[in-house]
Structure 1
């Protein structure tokens, strides 16, 4: 996912936070993150995590996760994103996807599957005007990564099943044909 998309998600959380009265902490962290000033972003978001308002704290943890993610500190990012979810952060496809990607990077494929599946369930619950091209692209990315997670766990039957689902959902994607052939040999 491109940095602008990730920042848009974080900025939306910041707007929510500002509307709920958390002040400028999340906004400052978001601006610092966008400018690549990771130390300043981390400081601002850490301050937000200490707020008594659970929404503000959740936004702070989400911001910390983004900061760590951008620095490729996936174990810290995974912990921060999970804490954000535990603190009541808005459950979004994007947050579940980022959490799952971090889990994959730390080779926790069971956790990654859990998060991808939660994100997929959210995506599938959207209908009509609620669904956008970005939602569809993210759904496609998550469904593909489910296949990868099963493969990494050598769970060939579930990988084959996930591949069939992927091909049914995205028949125009020919790029997975070699992967599908590989799975048939397992």
Structure 2
């Protein structure tokens, strides 16, 4: 139990640290950040339940006002802005990514982690992000979904990086890949 809590806290911190990397601001209020790589890694390394808990911990810290999101943002205001759908979507994104890692064991870890990151960390995340942008920006869902296309190239690179990092961890310290453990 203590190890799980430590892993959850560690990955919440990893996502916060990734928020220190400079963001690329887009005209519609949703920045390109490295934090989605952390969301993907939560799922690929921690698994569904622990990965989602790490995200929930980070979102609690954000809600309390700590400026741990890219651009030193934090506080309740971020949950009503253009990024709200993406922030809420981080939880199911990490969960789905982790669930795929837990269930699909027949292929190489790098492939599974990359595909899981694309499905959970891009497709699931974009569904929430587009819905949030549609509401906040007063756009139709197809218009908001079209805006998310700006993120696709970078997020595919992040999914591949998540796959490679997860595979490297699996080779170096197999017991550290909690998404593949039976506990």
TM-score (norm 2): 0.29
Rg larger in structure: 1
Flag the structure with more relative contact order, 1 or 2, with Cα contacts below 8 A and sequence separation at least 6.
2
